[in-house]
Amino acid sequence: MIWWLLALLLIPLLDALFLIYVALELLGAVETVLLVVLTALVGMLLVRAEGRRTMAKIQRSLAQGEPPTDALLDGGLLIAAGAFLLTPGLVTDAVGLLLALPPTRALIRMALKRWVVTPYVDEKTGGFATGNVYTFGFPDGDADRERDGPDDTYDLGDDAYDVDFEDDDR
């Protein structure tokens, strides 16, 4: 949690320092402001067009009775792209454009599915969602027996599970 907080504080600071460097050393103040405004406008037009395309994909998938998983992830990435593009700065605009462009968004989506979404879903469902389930026995059952040894069983006797009910007690 502390890493997210540091990133949220550090990224705008570095972006502002880079913006000042570009304005003073490379382009000039007016040109830098125009560049930031231009990237934000072009990026938002791109996000808007890609959002419409993604909504059409979601509707098509639902009409065919298929889950729109990729399209929903694309929608989330487009929301993040819009947030990055609205934040003034050249670095955040570059990240926003990477999230908005379809080829790079597809690569980011595949990485998210592999390293974030699938492990989370596996953990929450015990592997049922991805098909990584055990069909018999317990996972690592042999390792548990070797670790615990044969002393972890108890003999309860023959009458341990017999329960006598009397008609008056019910």
User: What predicted TM-score, i.e. pTM, was given to this entire model?
Assistant: 0.69
- Is residue 12 assigned to a domain? yes
- Is residue 48 assigned to a domain? yes
pLDDT, tens digit, for every residue of 104-143?
999 999 999 988 888 888 888 877 777 777 666 565 555 5
- Is residue 107 assigned to a domain? yes
- Is residue 139 assigned to a domain? no
* Burial status of residue 88 (CB atoms within 10 A of its CB: 0-12, 13-18, 19 or more): middle
Whether the per-residue pLDDT at 5 is higher than 90: the answer is no
- Is residue 148 assigned to a domain? no
Domain count, the chain: 1
Domain that holds residue 51: 8-130
The answer to whether the beta carbons of residues 98 and 43 sit under 8 Å apart is: no
- Is residue 146 assigned to a domain? no
Q: Which residue has tokens 């042999």? A: 142
Per-residue confidence band for 36, with pLDDT thresholds at 50, 70 and 90: confident
- Is residue 141 assigned to a domain? no
DSSP annotation of 134: -
- Is residue 111 assigned to a domain? yes
Q: Report percent pLDDT > 90 for the chain.
A: 32
